[in-house]
A and B are shown apart, each in its own frame.
Chain A
Amino acid sequence: MPRMMMHQQAQSQSRNGSFLSAMKQLVKYCKRFVPFMIVAIIFAVIGTIFSIAGPSYIEKVTNLISSGIVNRHIDIEEVAKICIILMIFYISSAVLNYVQHLIMAIITNKVSKKLRQDINIKINKVPLKYIDGTSTGDILSRITNDVDMISQALNSSVAPLFSSITLLLGCVIMMFVTNYIMAFTAIISTIIGFALMILIMKNSQKYFLARQIILGKVNGQVEEIYTNHSIVRVSNGIEENEESFKKINDKLFSTDWKSQFLSGLMQPIMAFIGNLGFAAVCVVGAVLMFYKQIDIGVITAFMIYVRLFSNPLSQIAQCNNYLQQASAASERVFEFLNQVEVSDESNKTTYLDPAKLKGDVTFSHIRFGYTSDKIIIPDFSLDVKAGMKVAIVGPTGAGKTTLVNLLMRFYELNSGYIAIDSIKTSDLTRENVHSLFGMVLQDTWLFNGTIRDNLKYNNDVSDEEMIKAAKACGVHHFIKTLPHGYDTILDENLSISAGQKQLLTITRAMIQNAPMLILDEATSSVDTRTEILIQDAMDKLTEKRTSFVIAHRLSTIKNADLILVMRDGNIVEKGTHKELMEQNGFYAELYNSQFANAAE
């Protein structure tokens, strides 16, 4: 922990400015819990005050006994009375402390649950553009690591921070009230210890950073080499890697032990501070007692004060670190939560009923770029009559998938419009647009759950219909061979091929039974013979439905009603397979290169 603490400190020092604004946002987010938090803080403070009172009562008891020895009689009743009062103090302090912890634990859990939930809701609301431009790992780490960090800080630093400050102030006041010389002794000896600690820590930052950097490199090499193991092996790269790993591993060792040693010093130093304070208080106390300045009770009281006093100092330092980390974490969380959302559509009343859809699609002078300075589709127009099968072909980067993104309104047009049955898609809600299309993507996304749930995904269909679709796609037999048939859970442990996954996603789209279809490289992972089977099923499915097919393999789309050949965002050729082949242009060139002989 100390190691991490210090590493974080190095990072956090530069961001002091944003600390307050991040914290403000966090407090605003927790608004309705703030009154409870204040209650918890008050409890923590009162509980602490009770425990500060302890030593002064112990002092009284000691003095009573000590004077009792001199007078040959101890006032047992008075001792008992003080002890009972003190016991009540201790118990109430414990109860208040527990209640405080309880309140904070509940608040923390509620806040982190809400944060996680809100991030997840937000994922659906931000434009796809944002998600596409951000790594999955980054958003995931906000949901788990950052939220955890915030909850840890809330749970373990808010109340302790206040109780530590109370304890610190209380101890100082009580010590000075009891005896100022002894108070100075205790404080000075503690401060000497802490100065030592700060000195060492200041000098050790560079080792922590160095270690962190090298550790990152070591882990990087491990990850890369393990993942690419097969190529390392056939390239005879094992020896080379062992050598380079040995070097970097040795380098890690030399910073590793240093940083470990320095962070390991924290504890001995704390112990040393305790011992030093203890010794100083005893010696100075003895001297003062010699001059009859104090009695023995003061020394016993100070022995406890010294212990109480050094605790909050390190605790405040710890809380400060937690809060710094939390501010960095909440900055990341709120940065995401404050992202611009897609436009609100609750006021849109135009609705296209999927059941009554004809399926005419018009693209009118659409213009689009993922960033405004890099236009991918400059000016695209097309009229698709209901029931047509439109194929889009072209080299990578020609804008094929972009067209689908626009059709589905995953991205918004820069200018122009797309209309379905003469109604502009921008006048419809996104939900409505989505309900008009069935979609199969190259990326075979299936979720953790049973095959049944995956196939019926968000659609209310009977088992018979599901099985009918599965048979049509030729996956029924395969599903039946799985351990639990349709109830088999799809997860990492179940190894099914990319081709089979693709068949499942095709079945899913078939079950959805939407009036129009989009197939984006839907059969790319399936071998060509299986593809023919699927094609047959698909052709049945696409009958009378407007469908858009993007394909890599040109054989797949030969029977399309219209083939669009795209290049750099523009349609360079269009027509049926036959017409295009006769034109002997770009399409014919692409098509023929499949079969061309290697010159020998």
Chain B
Amino acid sequence: MLRLFKYLKAKDYLALVVAIILIVFGVMLDLKLPDYMSDLTKLFYSPNYQLSDVALPGIKMLLCAVGSGIISAIVGFLSAVLSSNFAKYVRYALFSKVLSLSPSEIDKFSTASLITRTTNDVTQMQMTIAMGMQVMVRAPITAVLAIIKIIDKGTTGWVMATGISVGVLIIVLAIIVSLCLPRFRKVQRLTDAVNGVSRENLTGLRVIKAFNAEKYQLNKFEIVNTDLTKNNLFTSVATALLNPLMMLIMNGLSLAIYWIGAYTINNAVSLESQEQIFSNMIVFSSYAMQVVMAFLLLVAIFMIVPRAMVSGKRINQVLRTKIDIKEGSFNKQTEIKGELEFKHVSFSYNDEKDEDNEEVLQDISFKVERGKTLAFIGATGSGKSTLVNLAVRFYDPDQGEILLDGVNIKDYTFKNLYNRFGYVSQKSIMFNGSVKENIFYGQSLAAEDEENLLQSLNVSQAEEFVNSKPGKEEYIIEQGGKNLSGGQKQRLSIARAIARKPEILIFDDSFSALDYKTDLKVRTLLNEKMKDTTKIIVAQRIGTIKNADEIIVLDEGKIVGKGTHEELLKNCKVYQEIALSQLDKEEL
């Protein structure tokens, strides 16, 4: 957790130091109050005190109260700025780190977990720091200063009473906390389980009803619900003890001090010492209360800090991840354009290189030239998507190399590399913003003008539906594209890739949500309007790829066929099978 503090700047540390000094002053002022009270009580016993004698300690007391209030406000200000600053730095560091991670690293954390780390965990730490300034620093200082004050004023009896109270308090709290903490964690898990079963019920409602399995699901829910309730009950019964017990200890302590005081005073020899003890007694009881309160706060710290430490650890894990896909330095133009070559590329998702570790891709070699169409086909899990993911450097191959326009893709700067590619993913991705912003997302070499926009929408066959929307290209797409249909999203994703005017367009099974007619239309327009662009198409439908210049058939990570549709039909068994499963003999 401490490692994260390096994100703070010098002025933040200055604020921290100033805050701590101020807290010490504030506590001293707070603890001064009972002193003046003691002065007042002593006054009462002096034989002939004047009313004006009351004024001075009175004014001092008021000043102390106001002064400590002002100091607390300043400390509050400093800690608010400090903790918000901290959150700002760390949040930004996380965001930009996550952006630089490769998909495989993101998968390792899972997107959901990265989101929580950037949002909740940062907020958690921010709260802890803000509270920490107020509580973590303040409580020990109060405890120490109050004890120092008490030590010389207290009789053995009082000190013991205070010590016992603090002791009992700590022991009871320790027991309750140690009993409840594991349960709290369990409650968290069980809440997730309750959530999980309910989610299951909701998402699977049709299946549940179709199987008449409502009772089955309810029984499952009953089990987790009962379990959750039991655990909740345990923790609430245990924590219910806290409040009454604390009240009892505090009340009991002040009572004990007076009771013990009565005896001590009675046994004292002289009138002066009796008066001294009496005034001490009133003061002591106030201080004792401060000590007990300080220890209470300290316990609270023990409950907050572990949570913050967990958050800190989770944040650090992300920040310290080594990026395994680094960009190169090549940022120049190339003579060759639109040419992609794989040379003996092998790849596996697992990091450990076990003997029996299955490679997703084995010894893949091919070359595609400018303006040509290359297609990949194969069964689910044959490695088609992985292959194109390697081309755009979502992953790096274990063996072999990939050349783009004659240069190894590892040598390119990301900017130079991605300016050459237009990539359409399997799942259409939409950003919150207008259609136009979605089309011109990110940066490219192409002009972001009306002409480009219209052409992209036309080629992707998105024109018609975009024009039917209110505001047309200014139509606002909601997060995740919720206000668009699957086919519409896919058409816009295709438009986005086209608008980049890339050298190479990659379609990773991107035509599947389009009906056959639109699929055909888009491909026809691509060939007409983007003649010089190399097209790489991953598909499942034979129809989509039939006319490609070259088709590569993948099976279990290996190339099992290469050629045109007609050639493959003659000499590639896997291709024949795929074709047969989709077309009739006579249609072939």
Chain B interface category by residue count: 35 or more
Residue B262 interfacial (CB < 8 Å): yes
Contact of B130 among A65, A260, A590 (CB under 8 A): A260
Residue A35 interfacial (CB < 8 Å): no
Stretch in B58-66, B145-153, B397-405 with 4+ CB within 8 Å of A: B58-66
Q: Are B85 and A447 in contact (CB under 8 A)?
A: no
Chain A residues in 8 Å Cβ range of B516? 590, 593-594, 596
Residue B335 interfacial (CB < 8 Å): no
Chain B residues in 8 Å Cβ range of A229? 98-99, 101, 103, 106, 111
Contact of A54 among B49, B251, B262, B265 (CB under 8 A): B251
Residue A105 interfacial (CB < 8 Å): yes
Across the two chains, which residue of chain B brings its CB closest to A227? B111
In the complex, chain A residues 424-454 whose Cβ is within 8 Å of any chain B Cβ: 430-431, 434-435, 437-439, 441, 443, 445, 447-448
Residue A423 interfacial (CB < 8 Å): no
Stretch in B30-38, B162-170, B302-310, B461-469 with 4+ CB within 8 Å of A: B30-38
Residue B543 interfacial (CB < 8 Å): yes
Q: Are B49 and A220 in contact (CB under 8 A)?
A: no
Given contacts A64-B262, A69-B271, A226-B111, A595 and B76 within 8 Å (CB-CB)? no
A131 to B197 CA separation, bound complex (whole angstroms)? 16
Residue B191 interfacial (CB < 8 Å): yes
What distance in Å separates the Cβ of A226 from its nearest Cβ neighbour in chain B? 5
Residue B226 interfacial (CB < 8 Å): yes
Q: Are B247 and A51 in contact (CB under 8 A)?
A: yes
Q: Which of B45, B80, B547 has the most CB of A within 10 A?
A: B80
A600 to B240 CA separation, bound complex (whole angstroms)? 79
In the complex, chain A residues 154-210 whose Cβ is within 8 Å of any chain B Cβ: 155
Q: Are B202 and A236 in contact (CB under 8 A)?
A: no
Given contacts A61-B258, A410-B206, A236 and B444 within 8 Å (CB-CB)? yes
Across the two chains, which residue of chain B brings its CB closest to A505? B207
Given contacts A97-B243, A131-B202, A275 and B64 within 8 Å (CB-CB)? yes
Residue B236 interfacial (CB < 8 Å): yes
30 pairs, A vs B, C-beta closer than 8 Å: A58-B255, A94-B244, A95-B244, A98-B244, A101-B243, A105-B240, A116-B225, A120-B201, A124-B214, A131-B202, A136-B202, A140-B199, A226-B118, A230-B394, A245-B92, A249-B95, A252-B88, A256-B84, A256-B88, A260-B84, A272-B69, A272-B72, A278-B65, A282-B40, A296-B44, A410-B209, A439-B207, A531-B581, A594-B541, A599-B527
Chain B residues in 8 Å Cβ range of A91? 248
In the complex, chain A residues 496-534 whose Cβ is within 8 Å of any chain B Cβ: 497, 499, 505, 512, 525-532
Contact of A434 among B85, B96, B212, B378 (CB under 8 A): B212
Q: Are A113 and B226 in contact (CB under 8 A)?
A: yes
A224 to B114 CA separation, bound complex (whole angstroms)? 12
Q: Are A283 and B58 in contact (CB under 8 A)?
A: yes
Which secondary structure dominates where chain B touches chain A? Answer: helix
Across the two chains, which residue of chain A brings its CB closest to B71? A268
A250 to B487 CA separation, bound complex (whole angstroms)? 38
Across the two chains, which residue of chain A brings its CB closest to B82? A257
In the complex, the 6 A-B pairs of residues with the closest C-beta atoms, listed nearest first: A235-B442, A237-B442, A268-B72, A101-B240, A272-B69, A261-B80
Residue B14 interfacial (CB < 8 Å): no
Q: Are A458 and B213 in contact (CB under 8 A)?
A: yes
What distance in Å separates the Cβ of A264 from its nearest Cβ neighbour in chain B? 4
Q: Are A256 and B87 in contact (CB under 8 A)?
A: yes
Number of interface residues of A (CB under 8 A): 153
Q: Are B210 and A105 in contact (CB under 8 A)?
A: no
Residue A494 interfacial (CB < 8 Å): no
A116 to B228 CA separation, bound complex (whole angstroms)? 11
Q: Are B87 and A448 in contact (CB under 8 A)?
A: no
Q: A233-B418, A594-B516 are in contact. List 15 more A-B contacts (CB 8 A).
A: A91-B248, A98-B240, A101-B240, A116-B194, A231-B423, A242-B95, A253-B85, A253-B87, A268-B69, A268-B73, A275-B68, A408-B210, A529-B581, A598-B524, A599-B524
Against B, the Cβ 8 Å flags (1 = close, 0 = not) of A53-87 are: 01000100110111011001110100110010011
In the complex, chain B residues 391-425 whose Cβ is within 8 Å of any chain A Cβ: 392, 394, 414-415, 418-419, 421, 423, 425
Q: Are A228 and B248 in contact (CB under 8 A)?
A: no
What distance in Å separates the Cβ of A149 from its nearest Cβ neighbour in chain B? 13
Q: Are B252 and A598 in contact (CB under 8 A)?
A: no
Residue B383 interfacial (CB < 8 Å): no
Residue A15 interfacial (CB < 8 Å): no
In the complex, chain A residues 294-325 whose Cβ is within 8 Å of any chain B Cβ: 296, 300, 303-304
Q: Are A529 and B577 in contact (CB under 8 A)?
A: yes
Contact of A267 among B68, B134, B243, B496 (CB under 8 A): B134
Given contacts A105-B237, A283-B61, A598 and B523 within 8 Å (CB-CB)? yes
Residue A269 interfacial (CB < 8 Å): yes
Q: Are A264 and B441 in contact (CB under 8 A)?
A: no
Q: Are A128 and B205 in contact (CB under 8 A)?
A: yes
A474 to B37 CA separation, bound complex (whole angstroms)? 87
In the complex, chain B residues 238-262 whose Cβ is within 8 Å of any chain A Cβ: 240-241, 243-245, 247-248, 251-252, 254-255, 258-259, 261-262
A219 to B583 CA separation, bound complex (whole angstroms)? 48
Q: Are B380 and A497 in contact (CB under 8 A)?
A: yes
Residue B587 interfacial (CB < 8 Å): yes
A121 to B198 CA separation, bound complex (whole angstroms)? 10
Q: Are A223 and B95 in contact (CB under 8 A)?
A: no
In the complex, chain B residues 204-230 whose Cβ is within 8 Å of any chain A Cβ: 204-214, 216-218, 221-222, 225-226, 228-229
Residue A239 interfacial (CB < 8 Å): yes
Stretch in B274-282, B337-345, B449-457 with 4+ CB within 8 Å of A: B274-282
Across the two chains, which residue of chain B brings its CB closest to A307? B289
Residue A238 interfacial (CB < 8 Å): yes
Residue A287 interfacial (CB < 8 Å): yes
A239 to B66 CA separation, bound complex (whole angstroms)? 50
Q: Are B134 and A58 in contact (CB under 8 A)?
A: no
What distance in Å separates the Cβ of A109 from its nearest Cβ neighbour in chain B? 5
In the complex, chain B residues 506-532 whose Cβ is within 8 Å of any chain A Cβ: 515-517, 519-520, 523-524, 527
Chain B residues in 8 Å Cβ range of A475? none
Q: Are B479 and A220 in contact (CB under 8 A)?
A: yes
Residue A93 interfacial (CB < 8 Å): yes
Q: Are A430 and B73 in contact (CB under 8 A)?
A: no
Contact of A101 among B37, B75, B244, B584 (CB under 8 A): B244
Residue B500 interfacial (CB < 8 Å): yes
Q: Are B581 and A528 in contact (CB under 8 A)?
A: yes
Residue B432 interfacial (CB < 8 Å): yes
Chain B residues in 8 Å Cβ range of A438? 210
A235 to B79 CA separation, bound complex (whole angstroms)? 40
A228 to B95 CA separation, bound complex (whole angstroms)? 13
Q: Are B33 and A395 in contact (CB under 8 A)?
A: no
Q: Are B33 and A279 in contact (CB under 8 A)?
A: yes
Chain A residues in 8 Å Cβ range of B197? 120, 448
Given contacts A109-B236, A439-B210, A595-B546, A532 and B581 within 8 Å (CB-CB)? yes
A38 to B281 CA separation, bound complex (whole angstroms)? 41
Given contacts A136-B203, A249-B88, A447-B204, A235 and B444 within 8 Å (CB-CB)? yes
Across the two chains, which residue of chain B brings its CB closest to A596? B520
Q: Are A236 and B443 in contact (CB under 8 A)?
A: yes
Across the two chains, which residue of chain B brings its CB closest to A3? B127
Residue B329 interfacial (CB < 8 Å): no
Across the two chains, which residue of chain A brings its CB closest to B238? A105
Residue B333 interfacial (CB < 8 Å): no
Given contacts A98-B240, A268-B69, A272-B72, A249 and B278 within 8 Å (CB-CB)? no
A531 to B278 CA separation, bound complex (whole angstroms)? 94
A91 to B217 CA separation, bound complex (whole angstroms)? 48
Residue B357 interfacial (CB < 8 Å): no
Residue B316 interfacial (CB < 8 Å): no
Residue A144 interfacial (CB < 8 Å): yes
Residue A286 interfacial (CB < 8 Å): yes
What distance in Å separates the Cβ of B196 from its nearest Cβ neighbour in chain A? 6
Residue B582 interfacial (CB < 8 Å): yes
Q: Are B54 and A286 in contact (CB under 8 A)?
A: yes
Residue A555 interfacial (CB < 8 Å): yes
Given contacts A94-B245, A140-B202, A396-B485, A236 and B69 within 8 Å (CB-CB)? no
Q: Are B441 and A235 in contact (CB under 8 A)?
A: yes
